[in-house]
Amino acid sequence: MNKPSSNTAADGLLRFWGGSFGAVLPFAFFLFGVITLGLSGAPVETGFWPVLLAALMLGLLLARDRHAYSEAILAGMSRPLVMVMVMAWLLAGVLGTLLAESGLVQSLVWLGHATDVSGGGYVAAAFLITALVSTATGTSLGTILVCSPLLYPGGAGMGADPAMLMGAIIGGATFGDNVSPVSDTTIASANTQGADMGGVVRSRMRYALPAAAISLLVFGVFGGGTLDPVGLADGGEAGPGGLVMLAVPALVIVLLLRRRHLIEGLMMGILAAVVVGLATGQFSWNELFFVDRAQYSASGLILEGMQRGVGVSIFTVLLMGLVAGLEGAGVVERMVGAATRGATTPAQAEWRIFATVSAAVILTTHAAVAILSVGELTRDAGRKFGLSAYRRANLLDVTVCTYPFLFPFFIPTILASSTTAGLEAFGVPRLSAWAVGLHNVHSWALLLVLLLAVATGWGRGEQGPDGEGGGER
């Protein structure tokens, strides 16, 4: 019988020089690099590529079995979920470019002026729109991809503060991810705790609605800006003509509501944008795709859109490889086991659950994966201290709907940042992931509400229709 290599554990886990410290060090290096670059003002997602590459190299040097480490990061990079995200980023880049160049943004600005919605009112409206879309579709990333190319550039002509506007868009996307019954995090949190979906959603409003109210107030009061509406000047006299292109994002949203695949929705959206845009004269075939035989080159809106998605795509692939190396060492499992031991009161159990899922989402960089990683131990620890299934599910879900939408090394903030690229012609700047996360008032408010709930015990006694256990199945 083959004996396990001295460089891998008997259970097949990767081993690193320095043990758990050596396993975590590459990821810590990545976090330090991203934070340093972000604070220095660097920043688009391409600026993080060298940091990720260096972190992977550090992991390779620290791994006892470099071949196994290499295989682990390649397996992480090639997960179906990663390929879905990469395809989505590329397709969304094309769709966003087509919509931005179709005259729709100018027409939305015209509509905003006609209805007297501007400044902070426009930012608050953007939050409500994205909250409705994300709640209906259950996808925060899909909401960012569909809504950002429309609402963000329109903010210049509406007197909105760019950073606050983008914060409102990603904040609204966060709201739906947190409360929608078809969101992956809602499903994961309810199922791991054995709770009924309806009760989980109703009980979650206790946390989500106060945070949303705070967000609306802040966006409405502080969302105004002084940007010059360059987009209207460049586009000529604005009018309602471009509003016909609203049929395109409407189609994508309807498909997502019908539980069709995100890739299908984006592809059908691109096809609809091409057909409607050509039929109404918003752009020509040569603008869509043009081959310059003399220069051996190709150009056009489709290529421009795909290029917009390259930065976040490569970031995603490299990040998932780094995370896979960390997972291969079993660090998350050991951390979860250590953090859930030693509680003697319900309050201590809740603080440990919060700390554990916080660490899990930071280390895995994926909300649903973090919930699944700590779900079983959360259920056992919570039952021991009489925490209802609803309370446990809410502790998990509310926590994972904060960090990924706030910090610049998570995919949602990187994606939101990337959607602000190439829109300078409309008078709006490219925003860093730092700026996007710092202005996501909803996630900051959600984190505050959760901390107050744990500290004061507010909501700890919530019960389900079956009494003790909060609707546990």
Note whether residue 451 is domain-resident. Answer: no
pLDDT of residue 118: 80
Q: In total, how many domains does the chain have? A: 1
* pLDDT for residue 233: 37
Parent domain of 228 = 81-311
Domain-located, residue 41 = no
Identify any residues that bridge with 299 across adjacent strands, giving them in sequence order: 290
Print the SS3 string covering 53-90: HHHHHHHHHHECCHHHHHHHHHHHHCCHHHHHHHHHHH
* Domain-located, residue 459: no
175/134 Cα distance (integer angstroms)? 7
The reported pLDDT for the residue numbered 229 is 46
> Which residues of the chain are under the pLDDT cut of 70?
1-11, 39-44, 226-239, 332-333, 335-342, 463-473
Q: Is residue 381 part of a domain?
A: no
Secondary structure (DSSP) of 161-175:
-HHHHHHHHHHHHHH
406 lies in some domain: no
Give pLDDT, residue 338.
Answer: 64
Is 248 inside a domain boundary?
yes
Give the CA distances from residue 397 to residues 186, 345, 403, in Å, rounded to whole numbers and listed in that order: 7, 22, 11
pLDDT score at 88:
84
Residue 322 falls within a domain, yes or no? no
| Other Cβ atoms closer than 10 A to 157 | 28
Domain annotation covers residue 69: no
